[in-house]
């Protein structure tokens, strides 16, 4: 990579698409990896040399061709709402910021076509105006982009009903290779799977067609319980009942609800946050009573997406609220066994008293799953690793959010197949370098 690329890029690319000042480069070279004290230390000072913001597909192709010719590393970025350091450029170069490629191209019966920089809140609003809605969204949907979500997310609001990004949410993808000139790839079905949740290391998303579901009138509830076990049993009951329509089932052990100041929940009680089909309110209230709970907050369907909602305290927003109150708080990402959940939680709590439970119910390949995003006060990387090791010994799967490495952080596909795609679509290995680690004994 020669020093003169910075001069040539001004000749090849409209100056209106370029940012060079240090403030912009620092801001757009980071994400929410400050959730992890480990990543804060490891990624300190990593910054792009230039930010490029394409306005359309043609400009994106010009950028990718330029980078291939000059051998400049390229890191793609949505809106930086992820928290693994996946859009932090480890080797400098260019960050391609998709904020201006944000067009919703088409909404039809059961689908939407959008550019990668389209914010998911706007997509949801547009879909609901047409009597439809998104299948799954992160808790940061108001600011998160569809490209960032597909490259770095997996589930969120709606995944209890429809599953994750690998469960039919995406109908087709248009991608670009990084070569001169870039090739255009159209993928559907199983061919798309290796491109999901791979941090933009194996191809550059240019457009996506996502599936839409019929619009449901969702009401919101917050239920509290004196006993954490009752809160979990209630959450399991609602999650497993196919007769109850739900978009969110999120359970929080006390003292986590203390961090949710806008909800004003009672002291000393664990909480379950719900988005349910308004037609099933009576059934959910009955289940709450059976498990000795109390409904503390009811938001009718006509106020859905108006002001603060219960989803603003779910998934990784939970961690955000906790860290607002205590910056030493951090978290893990786990998956429990449905039939061993209480045994696993008890064993972890006995050995690590700082482990505070936060559960999110979702589906994967049609099966109910319990994702954990437990909170804990950070003591040391060594203790964090001991907790991770103990989780795995107990059969609790861990996708480590304290690493920028794609494989350790929960890659989505066979490693060797990702490398086959990378070598084909990124022959100079310029896309998000170092995030996709070679397998043992494998050369880059």
- In this structure, the answer to whether residues 182 and 287 fall within a common structural domain is no
Reduce the secondary structure of 214-272 to three states and give it as a string.
ECCCEEEEEEEECCHHHHHHHHHHHHHCCCCCEEEEEEECCCHHHHCHHHCCCCCCEEE
Alpha helices in 255-370 (DSSP H): 281-290, 315-325, 341-351
What CATH number should be reported for the domain holding residue 193?
A: 3.30.465.10
- Domain end, chosen from 214, 231, 249, is at 214
In order of 272, 287, 345, 368, 428, the CA distances from 229 in angstroms are 12, 14, 10, 19, 53
Q: Residue 241: is its pLDDT beyond 80?
A: yes
Let me know if residue 171 belongs to a domain: yes
Q: Are 88 and 33 in contact (CB under 8 A)?
A: yes
Say if 36 falls within a structural domain: no
160 and 274, same domain (yes or no)? no
Distance CA 87, CA 26 (A): 12
Asked whether the predicted pLDDT for residue 1 surpasses 70, the reply is no
Tell whether 203 and 270 lie within a shared domain.
no
Answer yes or no: do 171 and 226 share one domain.
no
> Is 201 contained in some domain?
yes
Sequence-distant (6+) residues with CB within 8 A of 350 are none
**Alpha carbons within 13 A on the beta-carbon side of 390:** 17
Tell me the pLDDT band of 443, cut-offs 50, 70 and 90: low
User: Does residue 390 lie within any of the structural domains?
Assistant: yes
Q: What angle do CA 234, 238, 242 make, to 5 degrees?
A: 155
207/253 same-domain check? no
pLDDT of residue 82: 87
> Which 8-state DSSP code applies to residue 72?
-
Instruction: Give the residue from 185, 156, 191, 184 showing the smallest Cα distance to 170.
Output: 191
> What is the enclosing helix (H) or strand (E) of 389?
helix 381-393
DSSP state letter for 35: G
Is residue 81 within 8 Å of 192, Cβ to Cβ?
no
Check residue 205 and give its pLDDT.
Answer: 98
The CATH number covering residue 353 comes to 3.40.462.40
Distance of CA 266 to the CA centre of its chain: 30
For residue 254, pLDDT beyond 60 = yes
224 with 284, same domain: the answer is yes
Do residues 241 and 362 share a domain? yes
Angle at 399 between CA 196 and CA 197, to 5 degrees: 10
Q: What is the pLDDT of residues 325-378, one digit of tens each?
A: 999 999 999 999 999 999 999 999 999 999 999 999 999 999 999 999 999 999
The reply to whether 197 and 315 lie within a common domain is: no
360-372 b/e (C-beta count within 10 Å ≥ 16 → b) = bbbbbeeeebbbb
Same domain (yes/no): 250, 272: yes
* Mean pLDDT, all residues of the chain: 95
Is 5 a domain residue? no
Q: Is residue 4 part of a domain?
A: no
The predicted structure's pLDDT at residue 195 = 95
Number of independent structural domains in the chain: 2
Range of the domain at 186: 100-214
**For the whole model, what pTM was predicted?**
0.95
For residue 107, how many other CB atoms are within 10 A of its CB?
17
Domain annotation covers residue 69: no
Place of tokens 């907050």: 297
Residue 406: predicted pLDDT: 87
Whether 19 is in a domain gets the answer no
Clarify whether residues 257 and 390 are in a common domain: yes
Question: Where residue 61 falls among pLDDT bands split at 50, 70, 90?
Answer: very high
Q: Are residues 186 and 285 in the same domain?
A: no
pLDDT in tens, 177-224: 999 999 999 999 999 999 999 999 999 999 999 999 999 999 999 999
Neighbours of 281 (CB within 10 A): 18
Q: Give, as one character, the DSSP assignment of residue 101.
A: -
Do both 175 and 189 map to the same domain?
yes
| Residue 83 near residue 36 (C-beta atoms within 8 A) | yes
């Amino acid at each position: 990579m020669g020093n003169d690329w910075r001069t040539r890029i001004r000749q090849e690319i409209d100056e209106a698409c370029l940012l060079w000042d240090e403030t912009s480069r620092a801001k757009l070279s980071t994400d929410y990896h400050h959730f992890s004290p480990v990543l804060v230390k490891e990624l300190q000072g990593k910054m792009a040399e230039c930010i490029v913001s394409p306005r359309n597909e043609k400009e994106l192709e010009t950028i990718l061709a330029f980078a291939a010719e000059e051998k400049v590393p390229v890191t793609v970025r949505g809106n930086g709402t992820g928290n693994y350091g996946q859009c932090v450029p480890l080797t400098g170069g260019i960050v391609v910021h998709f904020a201006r490629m944000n067009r919703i191209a088409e909404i039809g019966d059961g689908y939407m076509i959008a550019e990668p920089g389209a914010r998911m809140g706007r997509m949801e609003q547009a879909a609901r105006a047409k009597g439809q809605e998104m299948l799954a969204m992160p808790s940061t949907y108001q600011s998160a982009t569809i490209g960032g979500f597909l490259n770095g997310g997996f589930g969120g609001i709606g995944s209890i009903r429809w599953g994750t990004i690998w469960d039919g949410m995406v109908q087709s993808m248009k991608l670009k290779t990084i070569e001169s000139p870039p090739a255009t790839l159209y993928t559907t079905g199983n061919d798309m799977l290796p491109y999901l949740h791979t941090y933009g290391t194996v191809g550059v998303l240019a457009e996506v067609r996502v599936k839409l579901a019929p619009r449901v009138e969702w009401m919101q509830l917050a239920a509290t319980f004196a006993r954490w076990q009752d809160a979990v049993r209630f959450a399991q009951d609602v999650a497993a009942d196919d007769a109850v329509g739900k978009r969110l089932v999120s359970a929080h052990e006390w003292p986590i609800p203390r961090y949710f100041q806008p909800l004003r929940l009672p002291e000393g009680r664990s909480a379950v946050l719900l988005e349910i089909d308004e037609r099933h309110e009576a059934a959910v209230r009955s289940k709450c009573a059976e498990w000795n709970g109390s409904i503390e907050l009811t938001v009718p369907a006509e106020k859905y997406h108006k002001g603060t909602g219960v989803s603003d305290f779910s998934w990784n927003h939970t961690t955000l609220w906790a860290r607002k109150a205590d910056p030493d708080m951090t978290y893990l990402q786990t998956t429990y066994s449905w039939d061993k959940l209480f045994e696993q939680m008890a064993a972890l709590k006995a050995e690590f008293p700082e482990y505070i439970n936060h559960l999110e119910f979702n589906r994967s390949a049609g099966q109910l799953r319990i994702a954990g995003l437990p909170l804990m006060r950070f003591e040391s990387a060594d203790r964090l690793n001991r907790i991770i090791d103990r989780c795995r010994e107990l059969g609790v799967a861990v996708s480590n959010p304290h690493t920028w490495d794609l494989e350790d952080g929960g890659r989505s596909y066979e490693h060797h197949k990702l490398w086959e795609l990378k070598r084909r679509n990124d022959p100079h290995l310029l896309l998000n370098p170092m995030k996709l680690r070679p397998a043992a004994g494998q050369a880059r």
